[in-house]
Amino acid sequence: MTDDIKRSKLLIIDDQACNIMLLEHILSRAGFNQVESLLDPLELATRFADIQPDMVLLDMHMPGMDGLQVLRLIRETLAPDQYLPVLMLTADLTLEAKQRGLQAGVNDFLTKPYDRMEVVLRIQNLLKARMLHNQIQQHKSTLEKRVRDRTEELKKAKNEILQLLGRAAEYRDDMTGRHTLRVGRLSELLAERLGLPEEHVQMVRRAAPLHDIGKIGIPDHILLKPGRFEAQEFERMKTHTLIGASILEESSFTLLQIAGIIARSHHEKWDGSGYPYGLKGEEIPIEARIVALADFYDALRHERPYKRAWTPEETMAEVKRQSGMHFDPQLVEVFVQLYTEGLLEQDDDVL
């Protein structure tokens, strides 16, 4: 018998002191030195958590609470994946008694009077089964942790890839890539304040930085041009929405599909004067309406090669002026609340 089995903690529940003494003697000679006993089964409710046995030797017939009632009480305290072997002690060898015990969750039976070798072997077999169960559970927990860790790694990698893709789109006119992160954060604030489900809110935040990924298909002489575009240049510039959508929308991932919707529609305007399709009002997906406002605000607030940075007051005045024209009036109302609460101005270091 291994040392691990000998170190197991055994609990004997029997209303006959002589039976307990006999079992304790047998167990002691077999090398089991951690043996607890209860004469009164009613004590189990207060003692079980402290004892934390590896196995229970339980008398079938006891006054006040019989063995099957005690067994039900024990099973109620165990976790679903916990295996605690129960060896039923009984002189009742009838088929009905054994069936009742097995139905209640008894693992094995030990008949009175006891045979010393049988006692030791049955206990040893049940403890081996418990040790094997615990090893399997430990292995399962280890595998589950590895899966969780790997899933978290993949999640971080996916988020990093999304951020890098967003930065790639902005790199030529925002080499820090902070614009995309700020747009994501502002979009999250808006979506959250609108009452969108938390999962949807996080989707919007992570998808928003890809809104301008289609810019990778726009030549530098147009993208970086200071001042106004010629008509032909502006038509070429507008195609970044369709380029971005074509890159993202065919993905099998919901997040990238949402990013594709945003890329395609974030230049649509509430009054229908936007592009590429001239969508109007609620025809424009809510995600695109949110990002359009966040993008507009952050673009005005920060310097670019072709423009100075606007003050918060100047920017909010323009946002309000565009309510009902460029932007969804409800979103503007929420945005004004966020501005009033001082939540719009973000520290790049905490993004």
What are the structural domain ranges in the chain? 3-144, 171-350
Fold identical between 3-144 and 171-350? no
pLDDT, position 66: 85
Contact partners, residue 48, CB within 8 Å, separation at least 6: 11, 74, 77
Residue 257's pLDDT is what? 93
| 13 contacts 41 by C-beta, under 8 angstroms | yes
CATH architecture of 3-144: 3-Layer(aba) Sandwich (3.40)
Instruction: Give how far the C-alpha of residue 180 lies from the chain's centroid of Cα atoms, to the nearest Å.
Output: 25
| Tokens (6 digits) for 298 | 């952050």
Note the pLDDT of residue 4: 82
Please tell me the CATH code under which domain 171-350 is placed: 1.10.3210.10
Q: What is the pLDDT of residue 236?
A: 95
- Give the Å distances, CA to CA, from 189 to 196, 331, 337: 10, 11, 11
pLDDT value at residue 100: 85
Cα–Cα distance measured from residue 258 to residue 109, given in angstroms and rounded to the nearest whole number: 62
Q: Which pair of structure tokens corresponds to residue 160?
A: 């990093």
**DSSP bridge partners of 58:** 13, 88
- The answer to whether the CB of 318 falls within 8 A of the CB of 206 is no
CA 85, CA 107: separation in Å to the nearest integer?
6
Q: Name the residue with tokens 């954060």.
A: 185
- pLDDT under 50 in the chain at which residues? 349-351
pLDDT of 350: 41
